[in-house]
Amino acid sequence: MPAISFQSVSKTYSTSRGSFQALDGVSFDIEEGEFFGLLGPNGAGKTTLISILAGLVRASAGKVLVRGHDVQADYAQARRQLGVVPQELVFDPFFTVREALRIQSGYFGVKNNDAWIDELLTSLGLADKANSNMRQLSGGMKRRVLVAQALVHRPPVIVLDEPTAGVDVELRQTLWQFIARLNKEGHAVLLTTHYLEEAEALCSRIAMLKTGRVVALERTSDLLKAASSNVLRFKVDGPLPPAFEGKARVTGRIVQLPAHDAHEIENYLAVIRQAGLRVEDVEIRKADLEDVFLDVMSEKGQEAVA
Ligand SMILES: Nc1ncnc2c1ncn2[C@@H]1O[C@H](COP(=O)(O)OP(=O)(O)OP(=O)(O)O)[C@@H](O)[C@H]1O
Ligand SMILES: [Mg+2]
């Protein structure tokens, strides 16, 4: 039985300006013990899909099961299986960190949970903030509390909606170590993030959403294999010739170009030299998930994966 099963999920929001379709027939399964990445640009529908999973938003069509429990028909059972870290920072300012975690435990009917709460606090670098009020915490610390809250009842399925947004480098590493450990112990993880190097390092399988449709769904290693194998990266002292339009990714003076082989790389450099431009700091690297992502989002936009 899959940890999560999305079955033809669609969502249409009604707004004052008419209706808006945020999800259009999304179907895929996440297996028990899997570390799964859900990627997509802003507005693709990731949070909408997670909100439907968490029972916070109703799907317009389709079904979502958590370990066999329908999130609508069998809400309480489905919700108990899930630990959800929301994208938005929502918290009650009147409680201390420890009180908030005790209340959350009570909500799930877990008693005498202090040993696990202490482990969560330590693992997430919050031990010295246990007795601070929520409103006294910085943004990154509040996000850590949200992670702790989601895990307080040891859910078999962990859902993280951009857990590292606004979180410093050190905690990101601590957080990933901790989540990776839980995953090793058998917890399934569904992660959304805009840090694609995190997704590449952590997720064994990835789905990409674009305007509410699944446009890629593969093992991470297969996604990387399918990408054009190399990227030519260099600095240039003027605007690129028109031939590069739509091919090159330009950030200030830095240019990155997908290239399949040495011949293609030589050609690119020759065209640039003929245009009278000077290149510096030339580098050839393997394509990474960010290259694949940009590729998928630009080309495959219209044709969705079945
Ligand atoms: N309550 C709502 N009413 C109307 N439209 C909504 C509502 N919530 C989300 N949307 C719209 O649905 C689309 C998907 O939003 P969603 O938050 O799911 O995107 P996302 O993939 O999580 O984006 P991000 O990466 O920015 O978090 C967006 O166009 C958004 O404006
Ligand atoms: Mg979102």
Domain range spanning residue 277? 228-286
Choose the final residue of a domain: 186, 207, 224: 224
The residue among 53, 50, 45 whose CA lies nearest residue 208 is 45
Shortest-distance ligand to the CA of residue 19: 1
The protein residue with its alpha carbon nearest to ligand 1, atom 16, reads: 45
The residue among 232, 276, 55, 12 whose CA lies nearest residue 159 is 55
The residue among 276, 265, 290 whose CA lies nearest residue 236 is 276
The region that residue 112 occupies, defined by phi over 0 for left and psi between -120 and 50 for alpha, beta otherwise, is: left
| Total structural domains within the chain | 2
Q: Does 163 share its domain with 182?
A: yes
Shortest-distance ligand to the CA of residue 85: 2
Q: Is the CB of 47 under 6 A from ligand 1?
A: yes
Q: 267: CA distance to ligand 1 center in Å?
A: 42
Mean pLDDT of all residues belonging to the chain: 92
pTM exceeds 0.95 for this model: no
pLDDT class for 93, splitting at 50, 70, 90? confident
Choose the final residue of a domain: 224, 256, 275: 224
* CA separation, residue 165 to residues 7, 122, 169 (Å): 29, 21, 11
pLDDT the model gives residue 52: 97
The answer to whether residue 101 sits within a structural domain is yes
pLDDT the model gives residue 167: 84
pLDDT the model gives residue 228: 65
pLDDT in tens, 43-62: 999 999 999 999 999 999 99
CB atoms under 10 Å from CB of 169, counted, come to 8
The protein residue with its alpha carbon nearest to ligand 1, atom 28, reads: 43
The answer to whether residue 241 sits within a structural domain is yes
pLDDT the model gives residue 21: 97
Residue 111 pLDDT more than 70? yes
CB contact at 8 A, 29 and 207: no
The answer to whether residue 295 sits within a structural domain is no
pLDDT in tens, 264-294: 899 999 999 999 999 999 999 888 898 889 8
The residue among 101, 114, 206 whose CA lies nearest residue 145 is 101
The answer to whether residue 51 sits within a structural domain is yes
Q: Does 78 share its domain with 197?
A: yes
Q: What tokens does 4 get?
A: 């999560």
pLDDT the model gives residue 244: 86
The protein residue with its alpha carbon nearest to ligand 1, atom 3, reads: 13
Q: What is the CATH number of the domain that holds 218?
A: 3.40.50.300
Q: Does 254 share its domain with 208?
A: no
The answer to whether residue 297 sits within a structural domain is no
The answer to whether residue 31 sits within a structural domain is yes
Q: Is the CB of 22 under 6 A from ligand 1?
A: yes
Nearest-Å Rg of the Cα atoms of the chain is 22
Residue 302 pLDDT more than 50? no
